Amino acid sequence: MEKKIRLEVVTPQRVVFEDDVEALIIPGIDGYIGIWPDHAPMVVRLDLGVIRYRKGQSLERIAITGGFLEIAQNKAVVLADSAELASEIDILRAREALERAKKRLDEKEGHLDFQRAQAALRRALNRLKAAGAE
């Protein structure tokens, strides 16, 4: 029997995912990190990005906007600011959000909150990437 890792992805609103997986790749603030069974215990700060995990023959994705990962004894717990399974992402809505963010950045209005518009752009791109619609 192949060893597995228990992956839990939790936000302040809900448990997004909870199941056994063969391996996962997470977006740490210093780059993506691969996690396999029997990984050394650690705590990692997460960046906006896509968690990829392998379950059986499929490679699945979860979009997150940051948080923390704790791994110990073949259990990986992600405490995310926000998270969405790829299957939950409304691609049309994400594309609309991307276009709105691009338009705001292109207009360069005097009252534009540049950082907020840039963050909206990054979130929309991340959601599309997780949904496989980039």
CATH code, domain carrying 114? 1.20.5
At 112-134, the pLDDT tens digits run 677 788 888 889 988 889 988 76
Within this chain, do residues 29 and 73 fall inside the same structural domain, yes or no?
yes
- What is the domain extent for residue 105? 91-130
pLDDT bucket at 104, cuts 50 / 70 / 90: confident
Whether residues 77 and 11 share a domain: the answer is yes
103 neighbors 77 (Cβ within 8 angstroms): no
> Is residue 108 over pLDDT 70?
no
SS3 for the chain is CCCCEEEEEECCCCEEEEEEECEEEEEECCEEEEECCCCCCEEEEEEEEEEEEEECCEEEEEEEEEEEEEEECCEEEEEECCEEEHHHCCHHHHHHHHHHHHHHHHHCCCCCCHHHHHHHHHHHHHHHHHCCCC
Residues 80 and 126 in one domain: no
Q: Which of 73, 74, 24 is nearest to 49 (CA)?
A: 24
Query: In this predicted model, what pLDDT tens digit does every residue of 54-69 receive, in sequence order?
Result: 998 899 999 999 999 9
pLDDT tens digit string along 14-63? 999 999 999 999 999 999 999 999 999 999 999 999 999 999 889 999 99
